[in-house]
Amino acid sequence: MTALMFSWAVWAQPDAGGSADYPLLKRFPQSWIEGYQQRETPEYLLMLSELKKANNVVVADRRLPLEGELTRITYRIPDPHLPADAFEHFRAQIEAQGGEVLYRCSSRDCGSSHYWANDFFGISQLYGLDRTQYYLAAKLGSDYLALYSVQRGNRRVYLQLDIIAPEGADDLMQQLQVSGSAVLSLEGRGPEEVADRLVQLLAEFAPGERFWLVVHWQGSEAEAAIEASGAYARQVGAVVRSAGYEQVEVFGVGPLVPSVLAGRERVLVVVRRTGE
């Protein structure tokens, strides 16, 4: 029996280069990341009902359009675990942290796995047996999540986690009010554009409130990354102060806090200073 169990086991493999877990959720034990993408998206349709085809177009009756930073993580789940095992592992964490489940389905109630794999996610590994699939859409803090698990015909199990981090002023303000900090992606954005967004955000708070602007910057050479992040932070701070927000201090910490970067290249964290 022991030999049989060992023959089924698949040991964890190295993660895809440049990938990272979503900081708020722990991965399934012994799983690994096979695919990883991160980009700004002008529109992400979070599906809130089953997928079906109408007039040769795959649609859902209910969907929520979102704009922001999209992170896509494709996990390979080790044998002999089933899709339900991985799905429940993540669902339990989402609900334990107060996440709001917007929609969930399983098996054929989700529609065809072909639609989810090829038309929605665009990831062929996710095409599996309809009866083995699980899907959940949820909101956790200010982030929106799409969770999908399935078993392929070759018995391999995959779990897909999409994270959409909206970056509108309302979402950033909610993060600051609830947790005291908010994260803004810097990918493809110059200091002036970032500063303009921050000015809109700070306008929602009472005059005289104090903030830290902390730039995190990935780099293999720590000193160079710290210097670059500091220069960027000073440029942002100068524009924000020129708009009348003098109670702002800026810092550049390069790659010294990897948990904040979470696989991203560059982010700015706004910290609301309270109790002073």
**What is the rounded CA–CA span in Å between residue 102 and residue 237?**
38
> Which residues are paired to 57 by β-bridges?
54
Q: How confident is the prediction for the chain on average, in pLDDT?
A: 88
Percent of the chain residues topping a pLDDT of 70: 93
Q: Is the dihedral of CA 23, 28, 29, 30 positive or negative?
A: negative
Beta-carbon contacts of 167 under 8 Å, excluding residues fewer than 6 positions away, are: 67, 68, 69, 184, 185, 197
Beta-carbon contacts of 220 under 8 Å, excluding residues fewer than 6 positions away, are: none
Beta-carbon contacts of 221 under 8 Å, excluding residues fewer than 6 positions away, are: none
**52-79 residue pLDDT tens:** 988 888 888 898 888 888 999 999 999 9
pLDDT score for 35: 96
pTM: 0.64
215/189: higher pLDDT: 215
Domain boundaries, the chain: 7-166, 169-273
Task: Quickly name the fold that domain 7-166 has.
Answer: Protein Transport Mog1p; Chain A (3.40.1000)
Decide if pLDDT at 19 tops 60.
yes
Measure Cα distances from 113 to 28, 60, 133, 149 in Å: 22, 14, 7, 10
Three-state DSSP at 82 gives coil
**141-195 residue pLDDT tens:** 778 999 999 999 999 999 999 999 876 656 677 777 777 888 888 877 889 988 9
Report how far Cα 241 is from the mean position of its chain's Cα atoms. 31
**What is the rounded CA–CA span in Å between residue 212 and residue 31?**
37
Mean pLDDT of 112-117: 96
> Which residues are paired to 228 by β-bridges?
none
CATH architecture of the region 169-273: 2-Layer Sandwich (3.30)
